[in-house]
Amino acid sequence: MDAAFQYIEGNKERFLQELQEFLRFASVSAQDRHKQDVIDCAAWLKDHMEDIGLEASLVETSGHPIVQGRCAGQSSRKLVIYGHYDVQPEDPLDEWKTPPFDPVIKDGFLYGRGATDDKGQLFAHVKAIESLLKTQGQLPCEILFLIEGEEECGGSGLEDFIKQQKDKLLKDVIGVIVSDCDMYDEQTPAITYSLRGCAALEVTVNGPSCDVHSGGFGGVIGNPATALANIIAACIGTDGKIKIPGFYDDVRDMQKWEQDNISQLNYDDDNLARQLAIPKVTGESGFPSLARMWHRPTFDVNGIYGGYCGQGGKTIIPAKATAKISMRLVPNQQPEKIFKQTEEYIRSVCPDYVSLEIANRGGTKPVTFETDDALIQAGVEALQAGFGSKSVYIGGGGSIPVVSTFWEELQCPIVLMGVGLETDGAHSPNECFKIDNFINGAKAGAHLMANIK
């Protein structure tokens, strides 16, 4: 591996410039106005893969295209490298210290939307294969990049592709590598052995046909914003306990080793509170923070709006109010069942003087992998080689929708070896990626690809 690692070190500056180029595409998949940026970004990545010697193509889907890159191996067995080139919306724009799509390097970090989630992390693997192609003979097995453009918008393009190709292109897949998650901390790389699922919905409470004067009508017209507030409060109190009947029914208890693992990791709540400038961490009582982050479900309002939101005041009763809600799920909760329970409950608590619209915004099943699997152990060794430190096993609080599809359809091991940091600000303003992690991640990727047979 020395030659490949030297190549990575020797080409570090160029790799960074290329990553900056990749970050300049505003590939926000959830917003129609960025459709062309998404397409341009996919085309750039395909061209780049070709430039470094992969056989690359764009796979059309019902939504944004998948970038596919292949590199033949000594056998027909395939190792899939998953990533996504789409990014979250950049707003609130005024909280960015540098432009989200004009990446800037500062103090060992690269700042820009997508830096860590997931362009930087997937690009480490692109640079890994480049280093192997330039310094080694043919790899033991085929490397197949599948880089989607719909991770942040809940599209089904890659899911459909996996289902279609499971007995064709994906027949000989022996495992999937995913770097779209975090290390445990700045010093400690990690294998993420579980991911929470997700169920998302949008609730709109409709009142009068237009905003009306709160003086003239206050007292006789139901207020959609206060009704929505009551609905949300009926779903979750200030104690973090979710009040939707049956919501916890299918939640699997943590295993003994998971409880011990969390105890040993000794997570620093106060440090997190300091980092995020909050008075204290909080959540469901009876569970330590890491358990609440990894193994317990949640109910969060991602956005709420209704009525007058401008400067000054406007004494109206709003015509409507909307909440975007997402719930994180854990084994063995099922997104569709949770959606149904939630919808029924919300309808039952909604007052009869307003009307409701509830939209299902998609779901992802939670997943858990056995840590003693051979591919996961190869991941542990690769992280040791790339970072020079022993990794730990962690859970992932977020969801990677396609991971549950890979898991269900291909029934092969999936190695989640993220090289981001919790403090990278994924989905937040001033998202960044530590340059050392980019380089060490490329080394770990190269180690893994060279050693999987």
265: which 2 tokens?
């990791």
Q: Is 95 in the site for a second copy (CB under 8 A)?
A: yes
**One residue of 61, 88, 404, 440 binding a second copy per CB under 8 A:** 88
DSSP 261: H
Nearest alpha carbon to residue 414 among 147, 194, 89: 194
105 binds a second copy (CB under 8 A): no
- Of 72, 212, 251, 392, which lies in the binding site for a second copy, with binding defined by CB under 8 A? 212
Residue 234 in contact with a second copy, rule: CB under 8 A: yes
At 259, give phi and psi (nearest 5°): -65, -45
**Footprint on residues 248-307 left by a second copy (CB under 8 A):** 269, 272, 276-284, 289, 292-293, 296, 298-307
Distance separating alpha carbons of residues 296 and 288, to the nearest angstrom: 10
CA distances from residue 305 to 226, 309, 324, 346, 359 in whole angstroms, order as listed: 12, 8, 9, 18, 16
Contact 209, 319 (CB under 8 A): yes
Site for a second copy (CB under 8 A): which residue of 77, 243, 340, 427?
Answer: 427
Q: Near a second copy by CB under 8 A, which window of 17-25, 38-46, 315-323, 377-385?
A: 315-323
Q: Which of the stretches 16-24, 379-387, 404-412, 421-429 binds a second copy when contact is defined by CB under 8 A?
A: 421-429
Residue 312 contacts a second copy per CB under 8 A:
yes
Q: Do 23 and 113 contact (CB within 8 A), yes or no?
A: yes
**Residue 256 half-sphere exposure toward CB, CA atoms < 13 A:** 0
Residue 190 or 449 having the CB closest to a second copy:
190
**Least distance (Å) between residue 292 CB and a second copy:** 4
Among positions 326-355, residues that touch a second copy (CB under 8 A) are: 326, 328, 349, 351-355
Q: Structure tokens of 433?
A: 């990626």
Show Cβ contacts of residue 303 under 8 Å, excluding neighbours closer than 6 positions.
322, 323, 324
User: Of 237, 245, 246, 388, which one interacts with a second copy (CB under 8 A)?
Assistant: 237
Q: Does 200 bind a second copy (CB under 8 A)?
A: yes
Angstrom distances, CA of residue 31 to CA of 37, 44, 114, 303: 10, 20, 15, 16
Smallest gap from residue 231 Cβ to a second copy (A): 8
Residue 214 lies near a second copy (rule: CB under 8 A): yes
Establish if 228 lies at the interface with a second copy (CB under 8 A). yes
Chain centroid to Cα 401, Å, comes to 8
Cβ atoms of 126 and 147 within 8 Å: the answer is no
Name the minimum Å distance from CB 199 to a second copy.
11
Q: How far is the CB of 311 from a second copy (least distance, A)?
A: 6
Contact region for a second copy (CB under 8 A) — 43-51, 217-225, 405-413, 445-453? 217-225
CA–CA–CA angle 204, 401, 228 (5° rounding) = 15
Distance CA 371, CA 101 (A): 37
Nearer to a second copy by Cβ, of 165 and 282: the residue is 282
Residues 138-157 that bind a second copy (CB under 8 A): 153-154
Q: What stretches of 149-215 adopt beta strand conformation (E)?
A: 173-178, 190-195, 197-206, 212-213
Output the CA torsion sign for 240, 241, 244, 246: positive
396 is a site residue for a second copy (CB under 8 A): yes
Q: Is 196 in the site for a second copy (CB under 8 A)?
A: yes
Structure token pair of residue 360:
């299902």
- Site size for a second copy, by CB under 8 A? 107
Under the binding rule (CB under 8 A), the answer on residue 446 touching a second copy is no
Which of 49/227 has CB closer to a second copy? 227
Q: Which of residues 397-416 bind a second copy (CB under 8 A)?
A: 397-399
Cα–Cα distance measured from residue 146 to residue 160, given in angstroms and rounded to the nearest whole number: 13
Among 188, 332, 428, 451, indicate the residue that binds a second copy (CB under 8 A): 428
